[in-house]
Every structure is written in structure tokens, then in C-alpha cells.
Amino acid sequence: MKELNLHIDVKVYQNEELNEADCQLVQAAREATKRSYSPYSHFSVGAAALLSNGTIVTGSNQENAASPSSLCAERTALFYANSQYPDCAVNVLAIAARNEQGMFTEAPVPPCGACRQVMLETEKRFGQPMRILLCGVHEVYELQGVSSLLPLSFDVSSMQ
């Protein structure tokens, strides 16, 4: 038997340690939570994507009584970016969330599995990693790419 050990590097920043560009992106993700439509979960998520041309696009989770028809903030932002700016890579994606009481979550909230897969496809599409900022009240986790969230990922190379 052989054992495979996976190691994930996560940098943890206090909000005041972020550079100006990251602060702006985190703020955009937090603002996007206000546009969430989440009458069922009462969990508002916002995402902000910084594109290679300097544009910031945002998305928020949009729920539906028929739950599978709902869409997460990350996918909303990435699908919009890819449809409106098809030639621009996503350089950074920031994600923030508010709980049922309307307060930002204490700990940074990671994306769901479906969003991780879409994030991976976005990276593969442009051939470059996407930095990810997961935002909590006081701390922001920085990951250097989707492989940190999805180390054993499924992509086109898995089908060969």
C-alpha cells in the first residue's frame, strides 16, 4: 500500500493586513450579499471576481422553492464574468456570507462542491490559477488556486 498525503497552504490575513485591491474586492463581495435572494436558507452569500482587464463583477446566491433551481453566488459571478467578458481570465475571487441574523460569518465560508468544480473549469479555461479570498468577520483566508480547495479534482484529463 502507498499513502498519498495532500498539503494545502492557506494564508490567514487580518482585514487590516490586506492590500488596497484585495480590500476593494472583499468589500464588493460583502456588498453583494445585500443582493442575495435567500428566503429559504436566510444565508446570504456574495462573490466578487477581479478580471484580468481590471473589471470587478459580482454575484449573489439566488434561491428558489425548487431547491435544485437555486444558484450560488460564486457560480452567479463566474457565469456572468465568462458570458460578458469571455476573453478575460478571473484573477481573484472573493467570497463573503451573512448568517440568518444578518451578520457576516465569523469564520470564512468555503464554496460548495458544485462551485469548486465551476471554479476549476474557469481556471482550466484560461490556463492560470485563480486566487481565492474567503472572508470572515476579522480574517480572510487566501488560497493560491482551486487545487487548494479541490486537490483531487475531476477535469478533462480525468477522462483520458
CA 43 from centre of chain: 15
The Cα diameter of the chain in Å comes to 50
Torsion sign, CA atoms 19, 131, 56, 138:
negative
**Torsion angle (degrees, nearest 10) of CA 35, 36, 42, 45:** -110
* Candidate list 16, 17, 74, 106, residue with the active-site label: 74
Q: Which three cell numbers stand for residue 82?
A: 465568462
Query: Would residue 20 show up in a list of annotated catalytic residues for this protein?
Result: no
- For residues 123 and 89, the answer to whether their CB atoms sit within 8 Å is no
| Host H or E run for residue 90 | strand 90-98
Enzyme catalytic residues: 74
